[in-house]
Structure 1
Amino acid sequence: MRHTLFSERGFYLGMMFHRAAARFGSVPVSLDRPLDVCPGAGLGLGYPELAALVDDLSARLWAAGVRPTERVAIHKSDNFDIAVLTCAASRIGAVPALLSPGLDGPVAGELLGRLDRPWLITDRAKLDGPLCSAGPAGGDVSALVREVLTVDDGPGPTPGVPLEKFAGAPAHAPVRLHPREPSLITHSSGTTGTPKLAVHCANTMWNRLVPQKAMGWPTRGETAALHMSFVHSRFYHLLGVLLNFGSPLVMIVDPDPAAAGPLLAAHRPGIVETHPNTFVLWEELAEAPGDPLSWVRSYGSTFDAIHPRTVQRLLGASHRRAPWLIQLYGQSETGPVAFQWYTRRGAARTDGRRVGTAIPGFTRIRIADSTGRRAKAGTAGRIEARTRGRILTYLGARDTYDRQLRDGWWQMGDMGYQSRWGGLYLMDREIDRIDSMESNLEVEDVLMSRLEELREIVIVPGAEREPVPVVCVRGDEPLDTRRWDEATTDLPRMATPLQWRFDDLPRTSTWKIKRVEIVRMLAEGALPAARFGV
């Protein structure tokens, strides 16, 4: 039976900025590019200005005809206004459905079809680009949606109604849905195929938010710099934590160190969170001009496991007395189910495969054997989690959702084991296992630590299920084969490495590598045109 204390609480996105402005006043929010929906606002805003913009946009959406419980797909070029539009739709009780800017046209069209004629907020770059042939029979998306609303008003072949048309619309009072009603739709990473649409409600989101607030308490009020996917549920929980503590914000869209480094040096954030692969890219900021990471007290990493080498370099770049990195393990469907803290002293000797322990009072973790029973400590099996933060369902795919549940335990799709004391160790995704390797991910960690020039390494099964390493070198320099041979002497036998540019690796919106897609590319010979032979 669900406890009333927990079942009637809710995390509502529509009023986040209003509550923060009322509590803390004008706290700065700095951007690296103007908002597409309001370019005249510039790069320096504050809590009150963003609250007013949410009011304005929600009034425009209401004037356009959007009503409570209706789905509003947001699929536009990457920018922080994705979050502002999400809050605006939520404020009037609509259900934002967030589609990654990185989706290609056919996949975006398929997801819009599953949303059953939603409203669509987009821009000309998407509407006259990938979406122009994403509809039925290669037509535009008009047939898939109720109405197309654009954040810009430039001319184009695909019809759309500019939101500017509704400027000056009267404000509408906030609408609060029941805590167990759908309130947000995001999608899974799509690393193993077409993404699934995950349906969240205010109550499950609240159950994710509370433990994250507790984790954020030690750094309350510190300036926070974020480069994250604005269509991922994790971003909104982190934003809720930071607004709750009145933190100044720095929103980074462009992760290139040449652009992000000066911005970080100018604002001196005490909190930095981004995707693990971006942190690898930002290793070079450890010694960059202006010491951009020197004031960081807390790094946050989620979405994927992070390499130990990267943790050590990030913590070593901080001049704070005792910085740390917190890693969250989970997925869109569950929110974080395990957490781990790294310190300077512990990072060098921590097993990179250890992703933490369950969150007391909110999550439980177990390892299941092939029969579905709990495995003994130290025995590898399927990772399963029980959490109050689990999504309601997959939209249009209830059978798929039900297949991942077993007596209330959610199958994470990963293989791993637990120690006697409950520490969770991640080995591989079930679908990525290679029989000749105990853990692909562990070997990747070892090689990243031994070869500092590596930007990324991904080990995938080849045609004969042999381990095939795909490597990316910083600066796209040729891989030193002598160093590679020395680094792999004591490791399981692998095929000759393939060197690709990092930009040629298929990735999700959170920069996760699509390993299944790489396997397909290798099988079909559809390799990048600009690759390196070693």
Structure 2
Amino acid sequence: MERELMAFFNRPIDLGTLFDDLAERDRSTGVHMSRPLDIAPHLGTDLEISDLADLVGEAAGWLAAAGVRRGDRVAIVKRNHWDYVLLSCAAARIGAVPASLSAHLAPDVLEILLKRLEPALLVTDKALAAVADLAWQAPRTLVIDGTADGLLSLDDVRGWAAPPVHRPAPDDPLAVVHTSGTTGVPKLVVHSTRTLLRRLAGFEAHRWPLLGSRPDDVVGSAISFAHGRALAWTASVLWLGPAKLLAVSAPGWDEAGPFLARHRPTTLEALPATYVRWQRRALGEGNPFERVRLFISTFDAMHPPTVRTFLGATRHRRPVWMQGWGQSETGPLTFRLLTRKAMADGDERHPTTRDLGRPVPTRTRLRVVDRETLRPVRRGASGLVVCRTKALCLGYVGEQERWLGKRLGQWWHTGDVGALSRTGRVRFVDRETDTIPGASCVELEDVIDDRLPGVLECVILGVPGRPSVPVVVTEDGGLDQDAWRRAVADLPELADPVVLTWEQVPRTGTGKVRRTALRELLGEVPDTYGTGRWT
């Protein structure tokens, strides 16, 4: 234990006191938001660390006044903003376990998750309270931006002194986050202080070459702040003390564009779907990405044209794109650094972003096993990717048997199909549930996206007994059929494309396509070539 504490010395240790600890370290990072916090709009958009420490302490008092006690779960469901993180810190500060749920989830899905959580308190906003009858899923509901009949408001709980700070044991439940839910109801993932802060945030809170935040950096994030990534990102970035932290609460350019132009980030992390929507904004002089030295993408696969566009949008001499692959259950498993040279148009027939790089050094081990026998396969052969990591979550709320079923001894089934090269590089094929015979959906999607500049996104749906169905997303719902035929002429047989706009495609809170819901929308059979056993 002593050696472990020494290893994490000067690293973020506690979620509940994160901002107090930062203030004690005299961190001068300015925190800037694209709109005021929903829980404290009077504070404006520009705050100091000490302001945030005070706000977390005040919010801890709100939760205590609402009846939350040590060991209780607090469900947080509201429109996307960085105050998800502050509310989570407030809950952890009094010994409760915050559970962040995206407001993008359908009401029936939220109902299922809340039943599993059995929270002592539901924290929500007025808009969600008006459209989703979720209040009855918790003994008490706190509305943070107004009033609603029969529910608590902030005015009802202000002024309550927070109880003494509680510091949980390293392996006790610290926070609950959920998976994306692309194939159905998301899983509720339980992390501890050891897995989330000491293993994930602690690893990132180093000044790694190229990747670590520098004192003069302006570090931006445009992600789903309900996701567990928001907690690790906040802790690690602020611990390194950059000049500014930028929180973009919505991808709409009317909010994000002026904000990014005003602060001009030097490092930027965004959802893949957000990068796609911003791609045309990165073209030409005067774009707000001209100072970016490091782009970061996680959550989902990126298409090569999008990566090329952003690397070309910055004036930095040697910008880098860090592509990470991992899961809510494990945190990052591999990463790859992409450069302009690596992404330049070449003679290769197929793009290369499916090369996910190598496992995180000293943190992750990977193995590929046969999909039927679960025995290791030779290097270069594809199969199910399994991992070993000390950052593995504690389990699933309400579905612990499902979590246990995804373990093979010390190994964890990722549910992804891929191959390991002789040098240890990971080549991604597909999610197991999305596989198609003799090809890769992700590879076909990359090729089509690369060949048709007008396509925002392409989704290949495998349909047993018939050619796979390509769903093509364009800005206006139109597609040049002649260009389409030329683009797919040398690819495996595909059905006629279904053309949709971005808004017509069902998505998760992190922008991923909900493939099961998309099948239902198109009237396709739910059957797939994959088993779905490892989802």
SS at match of 1:99: strand
State whether residues 352 and 442 of structure 1, in contact with CA within 8 Å, keep that contact through their aligned partners in structure 2: no
Secondary structure in 1 aligned to 2:99? strand
Residues of 2 paired with 1:7 and 1:204: CA distance?
A: 17
Deviation at 1:160, TM superposition (A): 1.0
Q: Are 1:468 and 1:494, in contact at CA under 8 Å, matched by a contact in 2?
A: yes
Report the Cα distance in structure 1 between the residues aligned to 2:201 and 2:466, rounded to whole angstroms. Answer: 41
TM-score by length of 2: 0.91
Task: Tell me if the contact between 1:298 and 1:324 (Cα under 8 Å) persists in the aligned partners.
Answer: yes
Cα distance in 2 between the residues matched to 1:353 and 1:217 = 21
Aligned to 2:502: 502
Deviation at 1:21, TM superposition (A): 2.5
Q: Does the 8 Å contact 1:14/1:89 carry over to 2?
A: yes
Secondary structure in structure 2 of the residue aligned to 1:253: coil
Residues 1:288 and 1:148: Cα distance change in structure 2 (over 3 Å): farther
Q: Distance in 2 between matches of 1:175 and 1:429?
A: 40
Instruction: Give the deviation of 1:314 after TM superposition.
Output: 0.8
1:110 to 109, 112, 115: 112
C-alpha separation between the residues in 1 aligned to 2:510 and 2:219?
19
Counterpart secondary structure, 1:354: coil
Equivalent-residue separation in structure 2 for 1:8 and 1:110 (angstroms): 40
Q: Aligned residue for 1:515?
A: 515
Q: CA–CA distance in 2 between the matches of 1:241 and 1:356?
A: 22
Is 2:66–2:140's contact at 8 Å kept on the other side of the alignment? no
Equivalence for 1:532? none
Secondary structure of 2:323 counterpart: strand
Counterpart for residue 366 of structure 1: 367
For the structure 1 residues 71 and 287, does the alpha-carbon distance in structure 2 shift closer, same or farther, using more than 3 Å as the test? same
When structure 1 is superposed on structure 2, of 309-318 and 77-86 the one drifting more is 77-86
AA aligned opposite 1:5: E
Deviation at 1:469, TM superposition (A): 0.5
Letter in 1 for 2:221: L
Q: Please report the TM-score for the alignment, with normalisation by the length of structure 1.
A: 0.91
1:129 aligned residue (128, 131, 150): 131
Q: Is the 8 A contact 1:99 1:187 kept in 2?
A: yes
* Within-5 A mapping of 1:328-343: 328-343=324-339
The match for 1:212 is: 204
CA 3–484 in structure 1, closer or farther in 2 if over 3 Å, else same: farther
Sequence identity of aligned pairs in percent?
Answer: 37
Rounded Cα–Cα distance in structure 1 between residues aligned with 2:205 and 2:380:
32
**How far apart in 2 are the matches of 1:493 and 1:390?**
40
**What are the Cα deviations for residues 341-365 of structure 1, in whole angstroms up to 9, with x where unaligned?**
1111112367111111111111101
Aligned counterpart in structure 2 of residue 154 of structure 1, from 136, 147, 159: 147
Whether the 8 Å contact between 1:71 and 1:95 is mirrored in structure 2 is yes
Q: Does 1:90 find its partner at 2:92?
A: yes
Partner of 1:225: 220
The answer as to whether partners of 1:337 and 1:359 remain within 8 angstroms in 2 is yes
Quick one: distance in 2 between partners of 1:97 and 1:198?
Answer: 9
192, 199, 206: which is aligned to 2:190?
A: 199
Q: Spell out the pairing of 1:29-40 with structure 2 (5 A cutoff).
A: 29-40=31-42
- What amino acid does structure 2 have at the position aligned with 1:125? A
Any conservation in 2 of the 1:73–1:96 contact (CA below 8 Å)? yes
| Structure 2 unaligned residues grouped into runs of 5+ | 527-535
TM superposition shift of 1:519: 2.0
User: Compared with structure 1, are the counterparts of its residues 35 and 218 closer, same or farther at alpha carbon in structure 2 (3 Å cutoff)?
Assistant: closer
Structure 2 distance, partners of 1:124, 1:212, is 36
Match status 1:456 vs 2:457: yes
User: After superposition, what is the alpha-carbon deviation per residue over 1:153-205, rounded to whole angstroms, capped at 9, x for unaligned?
Assistant: 3244xx21112222222243321000100010011111111111111100111
Give the Cα–Cα distance (whole angstroms) in 2 for the partners of residues 117 and 172 of structure 1. Answer: 19
> Residue 75 of structure 1 aligns to a residue in which SS?
strand
Deviation at 1:40, TM superposition (A): 1.0
Runs (4+) of structure 1 exceeding 6 A deviation are 6-10
Other-structure match for 1:400: 402
Q: For residue 272 of structure 1, what is the aligned residue in structure 2?
A: 268
Deviations 1:238-265 (A, max 9, x none): 1111101112111112212343222212
Alignment deviations for residues 266-309 of structure 1 (CA, whole Å, 9 cap, x no partner): 11101110111111112112225632000001111001111111
Give how far 1:388 is off: 0.5
User: How far 1:453 sits from its partner (Å)?
Assistant: 1.0
Q: Aligned to 1:508, what secondary structure does the other structure show?
A: coil
